Structure 1
Amino acid sequence: MEKRELRCGFTTGTCAAVAAKAAAAMLLSGNPLQHMKLMTPKGTEADLPLFHVVVKQDKASCAVRKDAGDDPDVTDKALIFASVEFLNEALEDGSAAGCSFVREKTGEFGQLVLTALKGVGRVTKPGLSSPVGYPAINPVPRSMIFDEVDEVRRMAGYKGALLISVWIPKGRELAEKTFNSKLGITGGLSILGTTGIVKPMSEEALVATIRLELHMKAVAGLKRVILTPGNYGESFIKEELNLPEGEGVTVSNFIRESCRMVKEEGFEQILFVGHIGKLVKVAGGVENTHSRYGDRRMEVLWDCARAFLGSEEKEAIRSANTMETAAGILKELGVLKPVMSEVVKRIKAYMTDWTGGIPVEVITFSNTLGILSMTPDAPEMIKKYFTADT
């Protein structure tokens, strides 16, 4: 069967810009519209239907329904609203709307002020694309919104100031399914996009999220960073290491790529924490631990165990269905501790090489047996994690 090409969609930034452009056109013409077009930065035209159209004498608003294409985006089908209203001289600094973005007067044309209402997040930590306290509307969407509204204003010959507001009614609820709270964005979703187009979920998007989180920690002045592949590691960091939730950066399967980013951001130490089922692959030099790149867990484990066991135990190890089972077998054979010590030793060696020499400490665990092993200096790094020189 021929593989179907995945369908692209439009970003929240494109949806907000379309809604804002339509609202501006309706405000300045007095006529309701059913759809609106714009050209995305990628060069693809968006021609999107409008919902909940309201046109009043001094304000117009509408919504665009987000279409993420075949991307499993939590914002798919969400309504992105925008309104545009006349802005009198007393409000031109945007102060009435709180921290807002302002495009200053150009020639005879007045300011454009962009703010966010319900369901659009606010930035609470430095290092993001919006300043602390401002709406989480990234630079490209901001420019798109300002450019489209300005174009409509100029075509209509209106030179006064305008206030643009965007909101997402279900944004706060949907944001709970994203990384926003961890990144320091509270109260809702981000208005995102660089090309205006959503490509079906890709490794590129996941890596971008990891890079952003590492960058924010670097901006905060941290010199040590905790990496973990996923949810098991996050829970372990909180419950077993007694470190606050969110301290670990979830790197998914991108182990070597994350090591490279850690080096680029200038970190000086890494604590790598994770379930043995994922970490054992790294002990075999596996750079991306996704199963599509092969599942060599038992082979790697046996290679770590061969110095402590005879060939008769090889099949028992290699035929185990899970690493939890394999760890249980090693425990029964009395070699769990030395084998796991070899595992973390190899992980440390590979990751130190991938970072170009940044010191790496490793902790691995299982759900049934708890901590299986850690590199010798891992406890000391945990103690230092919250000291003033982090």
Structure 2
Amino acid sequence: AVAYAIKNAGEDIDVTDKMEISATVKLTDDSKIRIRGGKGVGTVTKHGLPVPVGEGAINPTPRKMIEEAIREVLPSGKGVEVTISAPEGEKVAEKTQNLKLGIVGGVSILGTTGVVRPLSMTAYRRSLVPQIDVALAQNYERIFLVPGNIGEKLAKQNFKIPEDAIVQTGDFMGYMLKMAVEKGAKEITIFGHPGKLAKLAAGIFNTHHKMGDARMEVIAAYAGAAGADTILIQKILQSNTTEETLKFLEQAKLLQLTFNQIAEQACLRSVERVKNKSKISVIIVSMDGTILGTSKNARSMIQ
């Protein structure tokens, strides 16, 4: 028997919205319930996820819900094999983080209640956390938090950081710091562009522009502390992008001193945020991967 359903993501930002998902059920005589991933459901290849390596990426809660529903109607003495498929899953998975997490060949079957609620931001934040689990399962002594794709690319290409040790945070640096510490990360390096990391020095840990944008003010303040005159400070405050400020600071020979101070303050703010429960360092880089500044405890890493 085969049954189909169309995924309804509600208000969540979800690439699987309106995707067809099917369950193929075959009765057996051994009283066991087996749940497998079929076409379009990914296979787990890395440790650290809640599903064992080699199995279909169907998380424990959906598995439990499927099993409970089956037991309500399963005849005594009978078993069942259930294959969950998503015909478009492999294509849709290209738009997710599955490959980075070690889930190949399709989407993941996730969920906590089976009910979609309008919690898009919460759902998105939650979707980032498995990266931490994968990194810690690989026994890396240090994990690297980066705001997004550019930071990850630079960390891998310019600094040879292993992919599994890199965790993308999106705009939720504060949340991901907290989760990394809760899950046992002992050493964390925050790595990325000043457009995001300068905000941390001001205590802004949700780096979306709608939540606060003090980039130019932070750079101007620390440029002043480094010796910038009024004219340079005004140029920084009137800049359209953080990249534009780099040119002014370089001309004044204040670039490294300014961003070392910003990185140090971002580090101190981050340590405060997690109540000193992890060793945290900060490295700020330009778009081409040039190191602009580091916290004091990160300098030995780049020598």
TM-score for both structures, normalised by structure 1: 0.72
Task: Pick from 263, 267, 279 the counterpart of residue 348 of structure 1.
Answer: 267
Q: After the TM superposition, which residues 1-390 of structure 1 pair with which residues of structure 2 at under 5 Å, given as runs? A: 60-87=1-28, 89=29, 92=30, 110-154=31-75, 159-200=77-118, 202-307=120-225, 308-357=227-276, 358-367=278-287, 370-381=290-301
1:347 and 1:116 map into 2 onto residues whose CA distance is 44
> Which SS does the other structure have where 2:2 is aligned?
strand
1:89-142 deviation line (CA, Å, top 9, x unaligned): 5xx4xxxxxxxxxxxxxxxxx222221211111222222222222111112211
1:194 and 1:380 map into 2 onto residues whose CA distance is 43
Aligned residues of 1:262 and 1:355 also touching (Cα < 8 A): no
Aligned residues of 1:234 and 1:246 also touching (Cα < 8 A): no
> Which SS does the other structure have where 1:197 is aligned?
coil
> Which SS does the other structure have where 1:192 is aligned?
coil
1:152-196 deviation line (CA, Å, top 9, x unaligned): 334xxx642222111111111111111112222121111111111
> Which SS does the other structure have where 2:160 is aligned?
coil
2:81 and 2:181 map into 1 onto residues whose CA distance is 43
> Which SS does the other structure have where 2:159 is aligned?
coil
* Structure 1 gap segments, 5+ residues each: 1-59, 93-109, 384-390
2:120 and 2:131 map into 1 onto residues whose CA distance is 18
Bigger Rg, structure 1 or 2: 1
2:173 and 2:78 map into 1 onto residues whose CA distance is 53
Aligned residues of 1:233 and 1:275 also touching (Cα < 8 A): yes
1:113 and 1:356 map into 2 onto residues whose CA distance is 45
> Which SS does the other structure have where 2:281 is aligned?
strand
Alpha-carbon distance, 1:289 to partner? 1.1
Aligned residues of 1:228 and 1:272 also touching (Cα < 8 A): yes
Aligned residues of 2:40 and 2:87 also touching (Cα < 8 A): yes
**Dislocated runs of 4+, deviation >4 Å:** none
Tell me the residue number matched to 1:12: none
1:216-249 deviation line (CA, Å, top 9, x unaligned): 3223333311111111111111111122334310
* Structure 2 gap segments, 5+ residues each: none
Alpha-carbon distance, 1:266 to partner? 2.0
Q: Which amino acid letter does the alignment assign opposite residue 318 of structure 1?
A: L
1:295 and 1:334 map into 2 onto residues whose CA distance is 26
1:215 and 1:192 map into 2 onto residues whose CA distance is 16
Q: Which amino acid letter does the alignment assign opposite residue 75 of structure 1?
A: T
Over the aligned positions, Cα root-mean-square deviation in angstroms equals 2.0
Aligned residues of 2:10 and 2:118 also touching (Cα < 8 A): yes
Q: Which amino acid letter does the alignment assign opposite residue 341 of structure 1?
A: N
- Number of residues paired by the alignment? 301
Q: Which has the higher helix share?
A: 2
Q: Which amino acid letter does the alignment assign opposite residue 325 of structure 1?
A: E
